[in-house]
Amino acid sequence: MRLDGKVALITGGASGIGAASARRFVEAGARVVLGDLQADKGQALATALGEAALFVKLDVTSEADWTAAITAAHARFDALTTVVNSAGVSIPATIEDETLEGFRRTLAINLDGTFLGCKYGVEALKAGRGGAIVNVGSTLGVRAGGLFTAYAASKGGVRLLTRAVALHCAEQGYDIRVNAILPGAIHTEMVDGYIAAGVAAGGTREGVIDGFASVHPMKRLGRPDEAAAAIAFLASDDASFTTGADLAVDGGYLA
C-alpha cells in the first residue's frame, strides 16, 4: 500500500494515463479526485472506484475550476497530498499548417493547465501536509518532431516549468517535491486517434502501430498502467529525495 493515506487530484482523470493513474492510486491505498471535462466517463470511473474516488468537472485552464476542485477535495477527503497534471491534447500540425488559434489552444491546455496545477497545487500542499506534484510531459518535449509543433512546444515548457517549481519549493523549504514523467507512445485514446488517422490515410492498423513501435528500442507501444506506475512512484515516499527530475517511460527512446 505504497500510497496509503495520500489524497490525489488527478487531471485528465477520465481517460488515458490519468484514468490508469487513478486506478493505480486507489489500488495502492490513496483516495483520488478525478478532474476532467468528460463528465460521463469521469463519473463512471469514480463510481467504479467506489468511496475512494470523487469526480469533479475541471477545465484546467480555469482558475475558478481549480479553486472549486481543491475545495471539493478538502471537503470530501481532507488535505491534498498529491497533484497529478495529466490533462492534455495533441493535434498534429507542422509549422506551415498550424494556426495561431490551434497553437494557443494546445499551449493553454498542456502548459497553462499545468502551470495552474502547479500554482494551486503548491498553495494547497503548503497549507496542508506537503506532498508531491507529478506533471505528465512527453519525449516530444525533449526530441521534437516536425509534425508536432504546438505539442512539442507545450511539453518542452512543461519540462522546464517542472524544474523551476521544484527548485522554488526546495529553496523555500516547502515539503513539496515536483517531478515529471516523459512518456513515449503510450497506447491511450490519444494514440488511437493517430492510428485512426493513419488508417484513414491508407495504412493498415497493424502497420501504423508498428510504425509507432519501431521508434522505441523495445519495439512496442507503452501501456497506460506503465506510465501510471511511474507516477505512483514519484508520488510515493519511496521518491522522498527526488525532485526536479524527468522519468522517461519510453521503451528506451531517449536513451
**Residues annotated as part of the active site:** 151
Report which of 62, 56, 72, 28 is spatially closest to residue 237, judged by C-alpha positions: 28
Cα 76 to Cα 37, 48, 69, 72, 127, distances in angstroms: 20, 17, 11, 6, 17
Q: What cell does 67 get?
A: 479553486
